[in-house]
């Protein structure tokens, strides 16, 4: 077995701690070629597609990649920003803010982000952390609800990387936080903030990403964790069962997926006379193609065409203060036992840096 090239071990060095926020991924650009590369990596994952390899290889390379890449690129182009892919932009900002918030709480940790598919890859980020001297690594999936198709795939990438590493760091992985009080509280505050500006809807629809129904029958807890999140959030918002519902989006292929499906459900609600719906996607912590385009554009158009009057997409948690605070709480609980607290000298240095930054900000502001 050949091992990955890594920096030599140096005696007497103080090991560092790192937190890696891992999201699904995104193409590098809203172009057909970039989307094709991304889809090839994503749809080649056996965790994502459990069809026999030989059959799936033919379907993927002869049908999906040639015909779907261009259409998907057009959808990405519709939501692309000047900063780049929304999912990548939000994930990067979350990591930056998480680093600052943990530092403010007294933790000396390195916080970075990675993508399961696309860039920066999990492996490249772990390589860099090794070079930086990090010997304790906490993996934080951006998925609150566990699924073998998402969270377990991240774990696969991590374990695969370290299978070829000689000096493996101490490793911790967060499986899920679908029912964590801090996550539910952040969701609640995001909904209340939206309602304070726009009023309440006739129906709140909580749309989660779908997975094939067979995964539930084979023991995947994702379905149950989605419903638990919805139940806890509804309770926090003091909603009755008639005021909200759970649906599943992004169905792919002809097999049965978790139901009810989001798009047909929204059309049905409109035809039943429901004038206004608010849709939120609690399973996504960052806005992305599935929230902004699939729900915010396609589902909205279908609802209004079917007779609905008002449609609101409640943004994902993104960089909201409540979510960064909540994510910090989730991470802090997993850091217990690791020596991450700042020393007195670290605290003094941090205060000095904050003072310098504040004075610089005031100076720049005075010259504008």
What's the confidence (pLDDT) of residue 342? 75
Residue 327 lies in a domain: yes
**Phi/psi zone of residue 12: left (φ > 0), alpha (ψ -120 to 50 degrees), beta?**
left
CA distance linking residue 136 with residue 130, whole number of Å: 10
Residue 63 lies in a domain: yes
- Examine the domain organization and report whether 25 and 126 are in the same domain: yes
- Examine the domain organization and report whether 230 and 140 are in the same domain: no
Q: Residue 289 in contact with residue 335, Cβ under 8 Å?
A: no
CA distance linking residue 164 with residue 276, whole number of Å: 54
For the segment 261-278, what is each residue's pLDDT rounded down to a tens digit? 999 999 999 999 999 999
CA distance linking residue 338 with residue 343, whole number of Å: 14
- Examine the domain organization and report whether 188 and 165 are in the same domain: no
- Examine the domain organization and report whether 336 and 283 are in the same domain: no
Residue 301 lies in a domain: yes
- Examine the domain organization and report whether 136 and 226 are in the same domain: no
Q: Residue 17 in contact with residue 108, Cβ under 8 Å?
A: yes
CA distance linking residue 43 with residue 147, whole number of Å: 16
CA distance linking residue 39 with residue 75, whole number of Å: 14
- Examine the domain organization and report whether 155 and 290 are in the same domain: no
Query: How many distinct structural domains can be found in the chain?
Result: 2
- Examine the domain organization and report whether 78 and 120 are in the same domain: yes
Residue 349 lies in a domain: no
What is the CATH number for 234?
A: 3.40.50.1400
Report which of 336, 318, 315, 339 is spatially closest to residue 327, judged by C-alpha positions. 318
For residue 327, give every residue at least 6 positions away whose Cβ sits within 8 Å of its Cβ, in sequence order, or none.
Answer: 94, 98, 140, 182
Residue 190, pLDDT above cutoff 80: yes
What's the confidence (pLDDT) of residue 13? 76
Please give the structure tokens belonging to residue 304: 């209004």
CA 185 from chain centre, in angstroms, equals 17
Does 209 count as an annotated binding residue? yes
What's the confidence (pLDDT) of residue 196? 98
**Phi/psi zone of residue 86: left (φ > 0), alpha (ψ -120 to 50 degrees), beta?**
alpha
Q: Is the backbone peptide bond immediately before 354 cis, with ω within 30 degrees of 0?
A: no
- Examine the domain organization and report whether 278 and 162 are in the same domain: no
Average pLDDT score over residue span 315-330: 98
- Examine the domain organization and report whether 44 and 156 are in the same domain: yes
Higher pLDDT, 360 or 11: 11
What's the confidence (pLDDT) of residue 366? 60
What are the two backbone dihedrals, phi and then psi, of residue 219, each rounded to the nearest 5 degrees?
110, 5
For the segment 59-110, what is each residue's pLDDT rounded down to a tens digit? 999 999 999 999 999 999 999 999 999 999 999 999 999 999 999 999 999 9
- Examine the domain organization and report whether 170 and 33 are in the same domain: yes
The pairing of strands 310-313 and 276-280 is: parallel
Residue 267 lies in a domain: yes
Residue 4 lies in a domain: no
For residue 364, give every residue at least 6 positions away whose Cβ sits within 8 Å of its Cβ, in sequence order, or none.
Answer: none
The pairing of strands 110-117 and 16-25 is: parallel
What's the confidence (pLDDT) of residue 138? 98
Range of the domain at 129: 16-178+321-344
Residue 64 lies in a domain: yes
Query: DSSP labels for 190-219?
Result: HHHHHHHHH---SEEEEEEE--BHHHHHTT
Lowest mean pLDDT among 20-24, 243-247, 311-315, 343-347: 343-347
Residue 217, pLDDT above cutoff 70: yes
Does 107 count as an annotated binding residue? no
Asked which of 313, 329, 357 is the last residue of a domain, the reply is 313
**Strand ranges across the sheet with 244-249:** 244-249, 203-209, 276-280, 310-313
- Examine the domain organization and report whether 190 and 258 are in the same domain: yes
> Predicted confidence band at 355 (pLDDT cuts at 50, 70, 90)?
low
Helix (H, G, I), strand (E, B) or coil at 357: helix
Please give the structure tokens belonging to residue 139: 């993996």
For residue 12, give every residue at least 6 positions away whose Cβ sits within 8 Å of its Cβ, in sequence order, or none.
Answer: none
What's the confidence (pLDDT) of residue 361? 57
Percentage above 70 pLDDT, the chain: 92
What's the confidence (pLDDT) of residue 8? 77
Please give the structure tokens belonging to residue 350: 């941090």
Residue 261 lies in a domain: yes
Residue 153, pLDDT above cutoff 80: yes
Percentage above 90 pLDDT, the chain: 87
What is the average pLDDT score of the chain?
Answer: 94
Report angle CA 301, 304, 308 to the nearest 5 degrees: 150
Residue 367, pLDDT above cutoff 90: no
- Examine the domain organization and report whether 204 and 99 are in the same domain: no
Residue 336, pLDDT above cutoff 70: yes
């Amino acid at each position: 077995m050949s091992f990955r090239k890594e920096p030599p071990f140096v005696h007497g060095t103080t090991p560092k701690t790192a937190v890696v926020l891992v999201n699904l991924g995104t193409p590098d650009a809203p172009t057909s070629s970039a989307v094709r590369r991304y889809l090839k990596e994503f749809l080649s994952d056996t965790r994502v597609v459990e069809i026999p390899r030989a059959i799936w290889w033919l379907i993927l390379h002869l049908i999906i990649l040639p015909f779907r890449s261009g259409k998907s690129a057009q959808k990405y182009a519709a939501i692309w920003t000047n900063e780049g892919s929304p999912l990548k932009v939000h994930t990067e900002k979350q990591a930056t803010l998480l680093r600052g918030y943990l530092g403010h709480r007294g933790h000396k940790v390195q916080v970075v982000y990675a993508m399961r598919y696309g860039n920066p890859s999990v492996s490249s980020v772990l390589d860099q952390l090794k070079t930086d001297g990090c010997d304790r690594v906490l993996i934080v999936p951006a998925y609150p609800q566990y699924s073998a198709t998402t969270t377990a795939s991240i774990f696969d990438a991590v374990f695969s990387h370290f299978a070829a590493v000689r000096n493996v760091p101490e490793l911790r992985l967060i499986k899920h936080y679908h029912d964590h009080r801090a996550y539910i509280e952040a969701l609640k505050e995001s909904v209340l903030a939206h309602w304070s500006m726009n009023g309440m809807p006739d129906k709140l629809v909580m749309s989660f990403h779908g997975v094939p129904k067979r995964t539930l029958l084979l023991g995947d807890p994702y379905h149950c964790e989605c419903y638990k999140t919805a139940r806890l959030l509804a309770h926090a918002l003091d909603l009755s069962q008639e005021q909200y519902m759970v649906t599943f989006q992004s169905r792919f292929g002809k097999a049965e997926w978790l139901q009810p499906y989001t798009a047909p459900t929204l059309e049905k609600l409109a035809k039943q006379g429901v004038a206004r719906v608010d849709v939120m996607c609690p399973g996504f912590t960052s806005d992305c193609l599935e929230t902004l385009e699939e729900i915010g554009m396609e589902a909205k158009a279908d609802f209004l065409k079917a007779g609905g009057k008002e449609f609101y997409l409640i943004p994902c948690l993104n960089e909201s203060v409540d979510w960064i605070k909540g994510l910090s709480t989730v991470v802090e609980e997993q850091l217990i036992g690791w020596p991450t607290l700042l020393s007195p000298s670290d605290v003094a240095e941090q205060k000095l840096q904050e003072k310098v930054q504040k004075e610089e900000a005031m100076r720049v502001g005075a010259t504008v």
